[in-house]
Amino acid sequence: MSEIPLKQIDAFRWMIEPTGGMRVPGIIYSSRELLKTADEGVRQVANVAHLPGIVKASLAMPDMHWGYGFPIGGVAAFDLEDGVVSPGGVGYDINCGCRLVATRLSFPEIRDSLKDLVAALFRNIPSGVGSTGVLKLSEKEERRVLVEGARWAVGQGYGTESDLETTEDGGCLAGADPDRVSPRALERGRPQLGTLGSGNHFLEIEVVEDIFDPEAARSFGLERGQVAVMIHSGSRGLGYQVCDDFLSRLVKHVRTLDLNLPDRQLACAYIRSREGKDYLAAMACAANYAWANRQMLMHWTRETFERTLKKSPRELGMRLLYDVCHNIAKIETLPVEGRERTLCVHRKGATRAYPPGHPDLPDRYRAVGQPVLIPGDMGTGSYVLSGTKRAMAETFGSSCHGAGRVMSRTQAVRSSRGRAVARELAERGILVMASGKGTLQEEIPEAYKDLEAVVDVVHRAGIARKVARLRAVGCIKG
């Protein structure tokens, strides 16, 4: 646990009081038990508070753990005039995110076909490190993807208009400029569109096991025993390269500014500067690539269900419940101390959680709030929550994004040596297929925090409300 002193505000909020060059306090949402796993993330919350133009507080969610510059699970908002944007506050996998696909199927309807279904998904969804898709994109067409996002994929037949209605920001971030993306990033992105990736990315068949909020569940179209599919992926090599390119550039740029930063990984640029605008334009391209990517993964998932189960689209009733991003910086208008302000909100390993009545939500969810998707490790399943007014008032409309790691990948591989991870999971009723044995070892359930404990904090702190819990029954990983 970090040596930085924490002042307890209540059962689930802890404060780092401003000291030294901190411009605002740090606020961490956590339980006492989860804080024991916070590692260097606490110091990083304090470090982020040093950045110019930061508004109100440097925030961290209960899944917080160490990341590049900013903690993963960190939220920070900056004034557009005197604030900064930082690639470390977004992360390498720009617009990594989740989408949940609901079906009309019940688990008994797929139980006997589950093995075939998992195998077919593994066969039809390209996954693994450096995997490539079936598309042959020209550079001109790739540039269209970077500007249009999920709308490009729908325009090519990979989905429907209704998918866009339930995707955050309609699956397209404004301001994308492909000329701000390097030739190397374009080269890496061209063959990878429509691929799952590796590491913690997955495609998981889940079953709704518990309903906590019947009204919200009805609005989301969820009921006990129902089959759903969670897809977790991002912007692949293109997004990684955009982050890498701009970190190199901004590490040099920040030396020209009169800033005294506690960590060089906080490299940044003023939002109004040429460097800041260039990063935001390139980041938007990567975000749009990620939305197009998840849209295509969902399309092939639908096709695989149809062919394997030999059911029509109408019988399957597969529809996008929602798609949220959790590695992004966005310009949003939010309430701060009683007045509306337009800010640049960094959510790194954090998810947007807008409240009931917000005009950016689709009509079908406006009465209950935005669906908040929180997946766990591959042995756990996922939670669906809804956004709250308290999140809008306290956390810039944000919640946590997952369970959060407690082991590095190296530690996880070391601790799982000699174990048959796939067999262990099968004995728990979860069929898993992965491109490499190493991925399963890196992603063992013990490598993550207790999802129940993490979700309990956001629910009891009031920044998102539990709606449903889903149990994993089948999973493919890169």
Active site residues: 401
**Distance between CA atoms of residues 386 and 368, nearest Å:** 7
**Distance between CA atoms of residues 335 and 214, nearest Å:** 29
**Distance between CA atoms of residues 189 and 137, nearest Å:** 9
Closest C-alpha among 266, 316, 256, 229 to residue 50: 266
**Distance between CA atoms of residues 391 and 457, nearest Å:** 13
**Distance between CA atoms of residues 195 and 22, nearest Å:** 41
CA neighbours closer than 13 Å in the CB half-sphere of residue 317: 11
**Distance between CA atoms of residues 105 and 315, nearest Å:** 8
**Distance between CA atoms of residues 297 and 194, nearest Å:** 6
Closest C-alpha among 64, 72, 349, 81 to residue 232: 349
User: What are the backbone angles phi and psi of residue 401, rounded to the nearest 5°?
Assistant: -120, -10
Cα 86 to Cα 8, 78, 270, 276, 391: the distances in Å are: 29, 10, 9, 8, 23
Q: Which residue reads 């949402």 in tokens? A: 29
User: In the structure encoding, which two tokens stand for residue 97, read together?
Assistant: 């995110």
Amino acid letter, residue 216: A
**Distance between CA atoms of residues 63 and 324, nearest Å:** 17
Closest C-alpha among 145, 106, 69 to residue 473: 106
